[in-house]
Structure 1
Amino acid sequence: MGPRRDNAENMYYFSELALTLNEHEEGVAPTDSRLRPDQRLMEKGHWDEANTEKQRLEEKQRVNRRRRLEACSQGCGAEEAEKEAEVYVPLWFEKRLDPVTGETACVYKGGYWEAKEKQDWHMCPNIF
């Protein structure tokens, strides 16, 4: 562990690495968590606005989930609709069984770096 910043107590005593993990980076996917508007407001010390924004984002997620449920329930039974609504297919990862541990792991399946190079994010949902 390296030396701490002079004002480490104001930075929750995080290491230099931890402090830089959330730094803004140009050209990332629009779904990158570093772009979360509530988080950015919090980092600027706008606590009330950050909380309001977080609530808006959470409600948006609930609405999207309800839409998935409704869309599936029109063609499925109730039990199948609930299962279908819970299914989420990540863009750049897939679940695989690790042959050594026997555990399910998320493994990169490709595509992110190519999309970043081309700046082609058409496949990303609008989550913010």
Structure 2
Amino acid sequence: MYYFSELALTLNEHEEGVAPTDSRLRPDQRLMEKGRWDEANTEKQRLEEKQRLSRRRRLEACVPGSSCSSEEAEKEADTYTPLWFEKRLDPLTGEMAYVYKGGYWEAKEKQDWHMCPNIF
């Protein structure tokens, strides 16, 4: 199929029990895979607007007059804290990198996804 390797073809296959934030569950992507292009585009626009709203809410959480300056508010709005990764200095490269901090496999085993945001 389209000269993709077997690995490339299977990377986006559905898997039971994954986090509700798993990118394989993106509704726009699933619609596109089914050839429903117009619906996929509409869904993608809905998801993008949802992301914009989420960002605006983070900005509003850092209101003027609080300890946040407008520059800090902008940084705060763009800051996202991953659930299962943390940013650390890589001792080999001297650069910041995201490193797995644990918790995903335990949550998957228990099927406990209460900490996951509703991104779709």
TM-score by shorter chain over 0.5: yes
State the SS of the aligned residue for 2:31.
helix
Q: Is it true that 1:22 corresponds to 2:5 in the alignment? A: no
Q: Deviations over 1:60-79 (max 9, x none)?
A: 00001001101112532212
Match for 1:98: what amino acid? D
Deviation at 1:44, TM superposition (A): 0.2
Q: For residue 22 of structure 1, what is the amino acid of its counterpart?
A: N
Stretches (4+) displaced over 6 A: none
**Structure 2 CA distance for aligned equivalents of residues 72 and 59 of structure 1:** 21
What is the percentage of aligned positions where both structures have the same residue?
Answer: 88
The unaligned stretches of length 5 or more in structure 1 are 1-10
Moved more, 23-32 or 82-91: 82-91
Alignment of 1:103-118 (within 5 A): 103-118=95-110
Q: Counterpart in 2 of 1:121?
A: 113
Please state whether the residue corresponding to 1:107 is helix, strand or coil: strand
Q: 2:87 aligned with 1:95, yes or no? A: yes
Matched, 1:44 2:19: no
What do residues 30-77 of structure 1 show as CA deviations (whole Å, max 9, x unaligned)? 000000000000000000100000000000000010011011125322
Give me the TM-score of the superposition, normalised by structure 2. 0.95
Gaps of 5+ in 2: none
RCO higher in structure (CA 8 A, sep ≥6):
2
CA-based RMSD of the aligned residues comes to 0.9
51-60 or 100-109, larger mean C-alpha shift: 100-109
If you compute each CA radius of gyration, which structure gives the higher value, 1 or 2?
A: 1
Task: Compute the TM-score of the two structures, normalised by the length of structure 1.
Answer: 0.89
In the alignment of these two chains, the number of paired residues is 118
